[in-house]
Amino acid sequence: MKTDRQMKELWFKFFEKHGFKKIPGYSIIPENDPTVLFTTAGMHPLVPYLLGEKHPAGNKIFDVQRCIRTGDIDEVGDDSHLTCFEMLGNWYLGSCPKAEMVAHSFEFLTSKEYLGIPVDRLAVSVFAGDDVAPRDEETANAWVNAGVKKENVFFLPKENNWWALGGGVGPCGPDTEMFYDTGKPKCCKDCSPACDCGKYLEIWNDVFMEFKVDKAGEKAKKLPRPNIDTGMGLERTVLVLNGSKSVYDSGCFKRVIDFIESKAEVKYLNDDKSKRSYRIITDHLRSSTFILGDARGVVPSNVGQGYILRRFIRRSVNCARNIGLDVKYFADIADIYVSEYGQDYEDIKLNREKVKDELIKEVERFSKALEEGHREFEKTIKGIERHKEFAKEGEVVENIISGKAAFRLYDTFGFPIELTKELALERGYSVDEKGFEEKFQEHQEKSRQASAGQFKGGLADASKESAYLHTATHIMLAGLRKMFGNDVYQRGSNITPERLRFDFNLDHKMTAEEIVTLENFVNDVIKREIPVTCEVMSVDKAKASGALGIFTSKYGEEVKVYTIGDVSKEICGGPHAENTKDLHHFKILKEESSSSGIRRIKAIID
In a domain? residue 283: yes
| Length of the chain in terms of residues written | 606
pLDDT of residue 458: 34
In a domain? residue 288: yes
530/596 same-domain check: yes
Gap between the Cα atoms of 288 and 310, Å rounded: 9
239/258 same-domain check: no
In a domain? residue 22: yes
pLDDT of residue 460: 46
Beta strands 221-233 and 21-22 are: unpaired
> 284: buried, middle or exposed (CB in 10 Å: 19+, 13-18, 0-12)?
buried
Q: Per mean pLDDT, which of 128-137, 397-406, 517-526 is the most reliable?
A: 517-526
Number of Cβ atoms within 10 Å of the Cβ of 259:
16
201/340 same-domain check: no
pLDDT of residue 461: 54
- Assign residue 485 the CATH number of its domain: 3.30.980.10
High-pLDDT (> 90) share of the chain, %: 53
User: Which is more confident, 95 or 307?
Assistant: 95
67/148 same-domain check: yes
155/98 same-domain check: yes
pLDDT of residue 467: 86
In a domain? residue 438: no
Strand order in the sheet with 586-595: 490-495, 500-505, 598-605, 586-595
Which among 362, 379, 401 is the end of a domain? 362
Gap between the Cα atoms of 397 and 389, Å rounded: 9
Q: In the predicted model, is pLDDT for residue 31 greater than 80?
A: no
pLDDT of residue 573: 76
Q: What is the mean pLDDT of the segment spanning 23-50? A: 82
Q: Are 288 and 309 in contact (CB under 8 A)?
A: yes
pTM flag (> 0.85) = no
Gap between the Cα atoms of 250 and 248, Å rounded: 6
**3-state secondary structure (DSSP) of residue 19:** coil
pLDDT of residue 374: 86
- Which residue segment(s) compose the domain that 303 sits in? 250-362
In a domain? residue 388: no
563/523 same-domain check: yes
Which among 362, 386, 420 is the end of a domain? 362
Model confidence pLDDT, tens digit, residues 317-343:
988 988 999 999 999 999 999 999 998
152/212 same-domain check: yes
pLDDT of residue 478: 95
In a domain? residue 389: no
Mean pLDDT in the chain? Answer: 88
Which residues on adjacent β-strands are paired with residue 62?
Answer: 22, 90
Which among 362, 389, 414 is the end of a domain? 362
- Assign residue 104 the CATH number of its domain: 3.30.930.10
Among the listed residues 539, 577, 541, 568, the one whose alpha carbon sits nearest the alpha carbon of residue 556: 539
Q: Are 27 and 293 in contact (CB under 8 A)?
A: no
pLDDT of residue 565: 94
User: Which is more confident, 437 or 493?
Assistant: 437
pLDDT of residue 191: 92
Q: In the predicted model, is pLDDT for residue 436 greater than 80?
A: yes
pLDDT of residue 35: 66
* pLDDT category of residue 393 using cuts at 50, 70 and 90: confident
pLDDT of residue 254: 92
pLDDT of residue 521: 97
545/573 same-domain check: yes
Considering its fold, how many domains does the chain have in total?
3
In a domain? residue 437: no
Gap between the Cα atoms of 154 and 126, Å rounded: 6
307/188 same-domain check: no
* pLDDT category of residue 372 using cuts at 50, 70 and 90: confident
77/144 same-domain check: yes
pLDDT of residue 366: 87
124/104 same-domain check: yes
pLDDT of residue 244: 87
Q: Per mean pLDDT, which of 31-40, 256-265, 484-493, 593-602 is the most reliable?
A: 256-265
DSSP 263-279: H-SS-TTS-HHHHHHHH
Gap between the Cα atoms of 266 and 322, Å rounded: 8
Model confidence pLDDT, tens digit, residues 272-302:
889 999 999 999 999 999 999 998 778 888 7
Model confidence pLDDT, tens digit, residues 448-475:
554 433 334 333 456 788 889 999 999 9
Q: Are 212 and 221 in contact (CB under 8 A)?
A: yes
pLDDT of residue 455: 38
In a domain? residue 496: yes
φ, ψ for residue 500, nearest 5 deg:
-115, 150
Gap between the Cα atoms of 291 and 354, Å rounded: 11
High-pLDDT (> 70) share of the chain, %: 94
110/185 same-domain check: yes
